[in-house]
Amino acid sequence: MTDLTQQIAHREGSIEIFTTNQITFKHKGDKIVLRGPVHALVRYVRPNGKDKGSEEVILRAPGDLKEIVCLENPQDQYDVIITDMGPVPAQMTILDLVAGEKHMDVRTAGNLVGYHPNDMVRLKGPGRFRIEYKGKSGAVRRAEDVVLNGPGEVRDFVNKSGEEDLWVTGNYTGAAVTAPSAGMPAPGPGAVSGKYPDGTLFKAQTNDTVYVMEGGVKKPVTGEAFQKYGYRWDAVKTLPDGEVNSIPTGPVKN
C-alpha cells in the first residue's frame, strides 16, 4: 500500500485529515498536488454524504503530477477525500486513453460519466469503447461501439442534452482491434454475469457495497469476509450501476 504522505509534491490551505492512506480537505482553495507513482480515488462529497463526483487517479511515472483543488462556493459545497487504492495497475486503463476532457463528473478505470450539457471527453487509440447516452432514470437511449486502432486516432464525445448522461466504458488493447459486427446487439441483462468469472470483485459506481461473483450471482461481501478471504481493494472493479443491478444477487458472503 502506498504512503500518500510521501507522494505529495505541493500542498496549500487547511488539510483536516492527513494520514498514510487518506487526505481530506474542506475549504475553497485547499489544494494537494500528487506525484507518481500513485493510485488513488478522489471523491467530492456533499454535506449530505452523497458524492458530487469522483475521480480515480493513476500516475505511473515519478514525474507525473496531478493537482486536486477544492473550488466550492456557497451554492455548491463539498469535501475532497483522497484515498489510497494500493499499487498502480500494471495494465493500462481507459484513463490512459483520455486525450482531453471537459467536466466529466466520474473518472475511473472502469468508466467515464458526464451528467451535464457540453460535458466532453476525447479518446485516443488503441482501444475499444462503448458509448451510451442514458436518460436520468438510467435507461440507455442511444449507444455506439467504437474502435480506435492507432495512437493517432482520436474521437470526441459530447453530452449535448440536459436530459441525458454520457457514459463511456472501454479498455486498452495494445494492438489493432477488430470492429464489432454490424448490427450486433448489446449484451442483454442475462449475459452480463457471464462476463465475470467466479472470484471477480466489483462495486457499483454510486454504491460502496463490494460483491464477489460466485456461481453466476453476485454476493455482498462483509468486512469480516473481505479480511478472511484475503481480498484486495486494488482488485475491486468499479462498474456502471445498471450493469451491477442486472447481475442476480445471491446470499451474503461471510
Strands 79-84 and 22-25 turn out to be antiparallel
Q: Which three cell numbers stand for residue 41?
A: 480515488
Average pLDDT for the chain: 84
- What pLDDT band is residue 225 in, cutting at 50, 70 and 90? confident
Summarize the confidence of residues 190-216 as an average pLDDT. 76
d(CA 58, CA 94): 11
**HSE-CB for 17 with a 13 A CA cutoff:** 11
Domain presence at residue 13: yes
Would 204 be classed as within a structural domain?
yes
- 220/239 same-domain check: yes
Do both 100 and 66 map to the same domain?
no
- 184 in any annotated domain: no
All three cell numbers of 99: 486525450
- Here the cell at position 135 is 436518460
Per-residue pLDDT, averaged over 24-30, amounts to: 95
| pLDDT tens readout for residues 177-199 | 444 444 444 444 444 555 677 78
Confidence (pLDDT) at 172: 62
- For residue 240 the three cell numbers come to 456502471
Whether residue 127 is found in the same domain as residue 104: yes
Q: Is residue 180 part of a domain?
A: no
For the stretch 101-123, pLDDT in tens is 988 999 988 889 999 999 999 99
Our count of domains for the chain comes to: 3
What range defines the domain where residue 210 resides? 189-246
Domain C-terminal end among 172, 198, 228: 172
- Give the pLDDT confidence score for residue 192 in this predicted structure: 52
With respect to residue 179, please indicate whether it lies within any of the assigned structural domains: no
Domain co-membership, 80 together with 98:
no
pTM: 0.62
Residue 239 within a domain: yes
Closest CA to 204 of 244, 157, 253: 244
Percent of the chain's residues with pLDDT above 90: 39
Q: Are residues 45 and 11 in the same domain?
A: yes
User: Does residue 58 share a domain with residue 13?
Assistant: yes
Q: Nearest 10 degrees: CA dihedral of 22, 25, 29, 34?
A: 0
